[in-house]
Structure 1
């Protein structure tokens, strides 16, 4: 009996010590470990637009603000199509998948096949998601269904950047029409705007890009639709069959033949275009207005007297009512999509949607754009942010910029007058934006052959501008486009438009 009592006492003492150890361990480890287990984790297959992923400095703050542990899997932007196709094929996805290539056949097929949740009916449950406009929802839909949160960007960002110091030196006003812009290009080429006594300047500095270079923005000024036009009867017309497109080609042809544009523009890379402009070789740059800040920074130490003016109200007629600016993607930068293989049920879907809703707060937007106040930036009384250490910001903050669900409507802004003016004009562009009516619609032929067929038009456009073919030969290329699949694309888009719009 005594032996049994002793064994019982030893066992009781052992259990007491074990419980005591467990208790003291929980108290001594702080509550963080316990909370960590309770904090939900969200995985995110995301695009990386910078050389390397961010450190955890800002990520930790984003996790604090959203109450979520975030596990990123980063895909370099340069290999996004291959990697995303592979992930779809192997079903190796994440709770959130950033999709920026909505015209990719594999992506569109996966969206339509029900791989991802259809989420429009859930948006109004969350205040920031509920505020997404009908235009964004429609533009981001596939055949009328929304399979992810639209990544909202400015609808129309382009305009004209001009050397104001050169305008002032030559006594020229800021141009308001395409004819006046031509006169500025002529003067910048012929009247020695930099005053060095050498014939070494031209008007436009352009690059080999008919979309993001000068051509498409100029075409807006001549009334060209944005990729496609559709009339009240649902008849679809490609932009290159419109009068505005021909007028733009003629305008560019005049610039080229007169020497008012860099003669190698058809083979010039974007980086070379920007470097040449920054070095004072030309005075007109057409592209994203926010790029003016980069042009000015590139010019430091080379063209320190450079003064830029940003212009977004040029027309070919001089009439305010004719103002227009293209918007190929209608401001949709992609989708944040939620695969059913990872997000198993509606409860889990709502949890992930709440996380995206929280990402759209002013606090998290500031973290993903500027970083941590006092570490990466300072803030003045007007909510203007000044970056403290550009290299640190690039390493710890910049990689998050491509992950923001929205870039619109926030109070905090950059404390740079030129960037502030660019932002103001880009916002103003929204009122004059010409949307692509086919952006959210489906044409299987366009998905399969669109890029290949576009090469026919791109090649013919350059040849016409460079004087290697005439208008009849250009029309011949258009007919070739139609016979090679273009007619089928138009037919499919007309059917899709009718199905969605009745």
Structure 2
């Protein structure tokens, strides 16, 4: 889930500051030969425009164009992943079928920050941008003049996406910007779970101590206490750490109190109403419980001071397993040689007897900003029709795992299975090498997903198996809303101080107590810091999202 963590961080209010850069374009092959002229408005003659030539473009059937057209397509890849995905057999076949040639511009995420500013300042842009790693919501909202509204193209040139939006309305809600237009195309990834991270516990320790997996916070307390006091790793040392984290308390520890925060903005939706949970009674009760655990040594004393390297060293201690309980994507995620000792368990019930699981009821599969067409693109209708080919089931799985016949086997019964990766290569690395993976347009419908057969013992298949433990308890998260340019300008100022105060106060109350005496003053200070304005921004964005039909 390292890449998933990066994605979340990259999306969080990535405000774009455009310096006055007068350098040359840094990406060869971008569409800089139009002198910045916008000659791309949809023509009224059924989609043909001057740039595609008289009768060259076809709104239906293949090829898309009679005479070949080249699109300059930019995508960003993590680190040094490179461009091996361009050899994907489906992508190469698409070029042959459509007569649309792709000039791929592949940039490392390590270099993109600087290159993005230069590109936007120079006005030298590619025709198409693929993947939400390139431009986030605020980048687009603050630069609407260079990204083409796509509503008309979806209506006339993209029957696959149009049908997908009708089947899954979330796609349209997710993609509609505050001005009511769609500037970027969405995705629904295949075979994604409903649950996000889930509780993971050391099963070997439970067995050695004759304990059952905890189901309530009282049982969890007793298990953690036994982990601390009864030497479950058997090395004769009192070195067991019931729970540990780095920098802060994982908010999922408060999930039994109904606190789930998928967007990381402290907002919940309960019974159709939004709530800012750091001022709620549930949050207060959760911190009081966490203080009890900390005071009795059941939460690592270094949780609020150690970094991720120190935490990893504890989780992967070479001599014996040290950590008893955690929240992870899968149980084999972080514990190194001790991974087989851990198992995922069902959500822990809270004081009200209910269980709450972090996740997305519609599936952890929806994305936006997966494709943009720039206003300098010569052939926007060609680009739209080309993109629409990605919105089928077979196209989606081949752009998520790899091509049929290379990574995926298509079986005689109409099902699809994943092949084993080559020796010395992990499955995940193999998928990234051979496909766009998380990035780019996709739509795997719920009905198509029934034909995908994954190995339940590892990878994506294992997560789907573990999902059965928690998916019925997944709470409704605050949706992935978008904000206006004015709201994006205000959000960093408000959240920087407010979030910092909440985090520091949380650490103080868990480690030293005092929440009952200081609660009213804490709420007053938040209000003095502009909490009312912050919550109004969230609620206004939520209302706009709900209004999209």
More displaced 10-residue stretch of structure 1: 448-457 or 377-386: 377-386
Paired position in structure 1 for 2:149: 117
1:363 shift after superposition: 5.3
The whole-number CA distance in structure 2 between the counterparts of 1:44 and 1:109 is: 22
- State whether residues 358 and 475 of structure 2, in contact with CA within 8 Å, keep that contact through their aligned partners in structure 1: yes
1:240 paired to 2:269: no
Work out which of the residue numbers 341, 347, 352 in structure 1 matches 2:375: 341
For normalisation by structure 2, the TM-score amounts to 0.69
Work out which of the residue numbers 176, 192, 196 in structure 2 matches 1:141: 176
Instruction: Report the CA distance shift for 1:385/1:416 in structure 2 as closer, same or farther (over 3 A).
Output: farther
SS for the counterpart of 1:401 is: coil
Paired position in structure 1 for 2:387: 353
1:277 paired to 2:277: no
1:264 paired to 2:309: no
- State whether residues 204 and 285 of structure 1, in contact with CA within 8 Å, keep that contact through their aligned partners in structure 2: yes
Paired position in structure 2 for 1:309: 343
Paired position in structure 2 for 1:20: none
1:316 shift after superposition: 0.6
- State whether residues 47 and 76 of structure 1, in contact with CA within 8 Å, keep that contact through their aligned partners in structure 2: yes
The whole-number CA distance in structure 2 between the counterparts of 1:88 and 1:429 is: 44
Paired position in structure 2 for 1:28: none
Paired position in structure 2 for 1:401: 437
Instruction: Report the CA distance shift for 1:93/1:175 in structure 2 as closer, same or farther (over 3 A).
Output: farther
The whole-number CA distance in structure 1 between the counterparts of 2:399 and 2:533 is: 47
More displaced 10-residue stretch of structure 1: 195-204 or 332-341: 332-341
Specify the structure having the higher radius of gyration (Cα): 1
- State whether residues 277 and 283 of structure 1, in contact with CA within 8 Å, keep that contact through their aligned partners in structure 2: no
- State whether residues 187 and 368 of structure 2, in contact with CA within 8 Å, keep that contact through their aligned partners in structure 1: yes
What pairs up with 1:6-21 in 2 under 5 angstroms?
Answer: none
For normalisation by structure 1, the TM-score amounts to 0.75
- State whether residues 136 and 332 of structure 1, in contact with CA within 8 Å, keep that contact through their aligned partners in structure 2: yes
Paired position in structure 2 for 1:207: 246
SS for the counterpart of 1:99 is: coil
Work out which of the residue numbers 216, 229, 239 in structure 2 matches 1:177: 216
What pairs up with 1:153-232 in 2 under 5 angstroms?
Answer: 154=192, 156-208=195-247, 214-215=250-251, 217-224=252-259, 226=261, 227-229=266-268
1:343 shift after superposition: 3.7
More displaced 10-residue stretch of structure 1: 78-87 or 274-283: 78-87
- State whether residues 370 and 440 of structure 2, in contact with CA within 8 Å, keep that contact through their aligned partners in structure 1: no
What pairs up with 1:453-492 in 2 under 5 angstroms?
Answer: 453=497, 454-467=499-512, 470-473=515-518, 476-492=521-537
SS for the counterpart of 1:194 is: coil
RMSD: 4.0
Paired position in structure 2 for 1:436: 478
- State whether residues 140 and 150 of structure 1, in contact with CA within 8 Å, keep that contact through their aligned partners in structure 2: yes
Paired position in structure 1 for 2:291: 253
SS for the counterpart of 2:182 is: coil
1:66 shift after superposition: 5.9
- State whether residues 456 and 477 of structure 1, in contact with CA within 8 Å, keep that contact through their aligned partners in structure 2: no
The whole-number CA distance in structure 1 between the counterparts of 2:232 and 2:109 is: 40
Equivalenced residues, count: 451
1:127 paired to 2:165: no
- State whether residues 324 and 434 of structure 1, in contact with CA within 8 Å, keep that contact through their aligned partners in structure 2: no
More displaced 10-residue stretch of structure 1: 144-153 or 255-264: 144-153
